Structures are given as C-alpha cells and as structure tokens.
Amino acid sequence: MSATDATCGIDVGTQGVRASLVDADGRTLGSGAAPITSDRRDGRRHEQDPEQWWTALCGAVREALEHAGDVRVTAVAIDATSGTVLVEHADGRPAGPALMYDDTRAHEFADRAQQAGASLWSSLGYRIQPAWALAKVLWLRSEDVLGSGDRVVHQSDHLVRRLVGSAVPTDTSHALKTGVDLRTAAWPADVFAELGIPGGLLPEVALPTTAAGVVSRSAASATGLTHGAVVRLGMTDGCAAQIAAGALDTGHWSSALGTTLVVKGSTEDLVLDPTGAVYCHRHPDGGWLPGGASSSGAGALRDAFTDGQDLDRMTEGARGLGVIPGATYPLIGRGERFPFVAQDAVGFISDHADTDAARFAALCQGVAYVERLSYDVLASLGADTTGPVSFTGGPTANEWWNQLRCDLLGRPVQIPREPHPSTGMAMLAAAEPGRLTETVAAMVGLGRSYTPDEDRGSELREGYAELVTVLRERGWLGQEAASYALAEGVAR
C-alpha cells in the first residue's frame, strides 16, 4: 500500500509548537505538540531562545508523523508570532535571544520610525507601534550588537532557513511590522535610508505561498519530514488561524483566541485606521486582510490561575452563576495594541468576581467584551462586519465560552472542523501562488455552529457598555470608537 500524500503546517506560538499533517481534503492525519519553556519576561523585555524553537518544532513534527502513519509529506509551511525578531549570523546561527512580539524595549524608536515613513504608513493605514519589529531593528542597531554578515530576521524566517538549509526571503505577512511596503512587496528604500538601515540587513521579500526551497537532508533527518518536500513561505499566526477558519472570501471574519486574541477579515479595499490599532495584511490572492491582535486573551486565565485549578470544573461553576455584573478588562501585562492603542493600559476585574468561579467567569466575559469591541471598532472604520464569523484556537474546546462569545456578538458563529493555525498552514502549503482562497475553500470543513441567545446577549451588553465607558473615561479608547460601540454595538 502506497503512502498517503500530506502537507505539513507548523504553528510556532508563545508557549509551544504545534504541527498538523492534512490530506487533500483538509482532514488531519496526525498532529503533535511540544512546549517552549525558555520564555523570559522582565519589565518591557520578553525573550525566548531560538534554539528551543527548533527543538520544539522537531519534536512536534515527529509526533505528528508518528500519529499519521505512512505518509509522504509534499509541502510544508510555518506561521509564527508577528513582530518577533532575532539577529542571525551569516551561517544561520542565532546571535542571541529573540525579541518577542510584545517586547517594548524599543519604544523610544517607534516615534522615529513613524516620522521617517509617515506618508507611507498613512497610505497603508497603520502606525509604527512600540512592539513592532521596525522599532526593534533600530534598537538593535543602536546597541551595536550586529556583526559583519549578521542579519535581522523574523521568527519564521529563521525556522524556514533551518528547514531548507540556506538563507530565505521573508514573507509580506511577517514583514508587515518591519515596515514592508505591502503594495510593492518590497522594503521602502527611502525610508530605510533615512533611518540608517542598510541594504542587506533584512531578508528579501516575497508573497506567502512562494516556494522558499525544499526540506534539506539534515532537516529531514532532524524532523522526519520527507527530503525534497517544498517549503512555502507562510503567514503570521493570526493569518494562519484566519486561513484555518476559511475566512478568506470578502466579508468573512475570524476570531482566533489563544494567549492573545486576533480578529481578522477579508475586504477588497484597505481599512484605514488613524490610531494604528487596525492594520491590513496583503491578501496573497489580491485584496486585503484587515484586523488586529489584542494583548488580551486566554493568557489572562493562565496568569490568574497559576496553581493548576481544574478549568473544566470552574467552567461548570461559571455556568451556574450566570452573567457577572460589572466591567472586566483582562489585559496581559501593561499596554494595549488592539482594539485601541494605549501604552499605559492595565487590566482590571469586576468587584463581583469574589470567588474562583466568578473570577473565571468574569475573565471569560472580559475577553468576549474585547472581542466585541474589536468588531465594533472595525465597523466604525467602514468595514462590513455583518458576514459570517468563525472561531479558532484552543479555547474553542470550551462550549460554554463559545456560546457566551456568540451571545455577545449577536450573530451566528461557526467553528471549522480543524480550528488550528497549524491546519491553516498545512492548507497554505498545499496552495500554488495565487490560488490560496480556492485551495482553502476546497479543504475547510465545518464543525460546530452556535446561534446567539438574545436574552443573555442583552445582559452581557450591560457589562460591555460599562467597560466601553471606563475605557473612554481613562482616555484609552477614542471618543469616536466609544460612541459607535455604545450606540450601534450595544443596541444590537
């Protein structure tokens, strides 16, 4: 019996690596996961060891292959965290720890980068934020840590290089926060010259789905992947989740809930946000993928319940409590980037969250509030958010939380059959350039669906309105967005 052809998608997240092997119909043949434990946070700094990314990738892929049985991997693609960079020596070795997606040590350079390319950034609809990779590139230059032949690369670039065995281009998706001109798919030479960024410091740029090379013999030995399998340039973790959700057709939206919350959709035209909270990725097939990544998300529950409480048990307890009154904003760390930009924002929780179950329920509600606000902000900027909504990410296993989020959104929700970013990357790996939407449509299968409960939605919107009011009063949420959320959003 001959081996089954499969594509491999690899999702490199904050806490670990997940690999999925799927067949031509998008069905998972095997999956695997491995943890990343080198996470280090210190004030504005957030670092990880790039060597552990590779170790975890190898472990996750080998586990997936073991579960899949006799398969022949024909193509591979990787997604990673957006804005994570490292210095790479000429031979591909990491020069030190990686600066993670929410590392803001380079905050003083963000304004300089914004001013140098203000016209370009304005035309693309975003502002350079303190955690963005372009600010980190300037910080690395200022620290004089770049040796001869060194390059600054993204997390995905480094791992793709490990797979193919030679230097590779970066993709427009991971390069967005490093200042790529998405219309031309090239670095803005004039802006970079003004900022003192020399040519050759960053990889060349290409569109996602571009073949970067093939799996080398050494990488095949380390991972178990088929030698010669095509390695395609991927997209960021948020875009990977959007692909897994099948949300690539115009008007379709996706909420990817993991450590953080990422909301993304598909539009024909750029969605321009003067605050910089919303930005658009370039759709590999044409058009745009607007959305944003919040610092709020399921990671707030992990931080709140560090002693290993049974989350299933607390879910049952929360189910019996009903809606927890009051405003909750479950921010991880300090500073928010979407659905509003506020460097000094901090989280808070309702005074009514006076037991573990109530605290759990309030945090879950709070994440739902941020999700609802994300859609209201997008709508206030002119995006049509009335189309289908898909949920992806690990927390989709929690039926109670899915229904709560659906009730607050006030619209039907669907969960794809395989709601994981790694599945999205496996689908991208199967796509020839220019045919991503078509390929994904043929591979995505629908799983569960939810219909909103209007009565509970009405109760939840009271807490949502209170949160919007508090965010506006603290000066974090702009008046226009707050007014829209209170008028249009709360009314529905």
Q: What's the CATH code, domain 4-234?
A: 3.30.420.40
H or E segment and range at residue 149: none
Query: What six digits make up the tokens of 31?
Result: 């999956």
Query: What six digits make up the tokens of 152?
Result: 């600054």
Query: Using one digit for the tens of pLDDT, what is the confidence trace for 280-293?
Result: 999 999 999 999 98
* Distance between first and last Cα of the chain: 56
Sort 451 into a burial class: Cβ within 10 Å, 0-12 / 13-18 / 19+: exposed
The number of beta carbons lying within 10 Å of the beta carbon of residue 103 is 27
Amino acid at site 341: V
Q: What's the CATH code, domain 249-434+445-491?
A: 3.30.420.40
Query: What six digits make up the tokens of 38?
Result: 């080198």
CA dihedral 205, 207, 211, 217 (to 10 degrees): 50
Q: Calculate Rg over the CA atoms of the chain.
A: 21
Phi, psi of 288 (to 5 degrees): -140, 155
What integer is the mean pLDDT of 96-104?
Answer: 96
Query: Using one digit for the tens of pLDDT, what is the confidence trace for 12-48?
Result: 999 999 999 999 999 999 999 999 999 999 999 999 9
Predicted local confidence at residue 1, as pLDDT: 62
For the chain, give the longest Cα–Cα distance.
Answer: 67
Q: Which of 193, 194, 79, 179 is nearest to 133 (CA)?
A: 179
Burial pattern 183-213, b for ≥16 Cβ within 10 A else e, equals eebebbeebbeebebeeebbbebbbbbbebb
Contact 410, 56 (CB under 8 A): no
Q: Which of 146, 192, 149 is nearest to 167 (CA)?
A: 149
Query: Using one digit for the tens of pLDDT, what is the confidence trace for 190-244?
Result: 999 999 999 999 999 999 999 999 999 999 999 999 999 999 999 999 899 899 9
pLDDT at 490 over 70: no
**DSSP class per residue in 180-242:** -BTTTTB--HHHHHHHT--TTSS--EE-TT-EEEE--HHHHHHH-PPTT-EEE---BHHHHHH
Whole-angstrom distance, CA of residue 78 vs CA of residue 105: 27
Q: Reduced to 3 states, what is the DSSP secondary structure of residue 295?
A: coil
Lowest mean pLDDT among 32-36, 75-79, 139-143, 316-320: 316-320
Q: Reduced to 3 states, what is the DSSP secondary structure of residue 152?
A: strand
- In the chain, the percentage of residues whose pLDDT exceeds 70 is 98
Residue 72, C-beta contacts closer than 8 angstroms, at least 6 positions apart: 3, 4, 5, 6, 226
Query: Using one digit for the tens of pLDDT, what is the confidence trace for 313-350?
Result: 889 999 999 899 999 999 988 899 999 999 899 999 99
Domain boundaries, the chain: 4-234, 249-434+445-491
Which pTM does this prediction carry? 0.86
Q: Which of 194, 359, 378 is nearest to 279 (CA)?
A: 378
Strand 413-416: give its sheet, edge to edge.
279-282, 288-293, 261-265, 253-257, 389-392, 413-416, 446-450
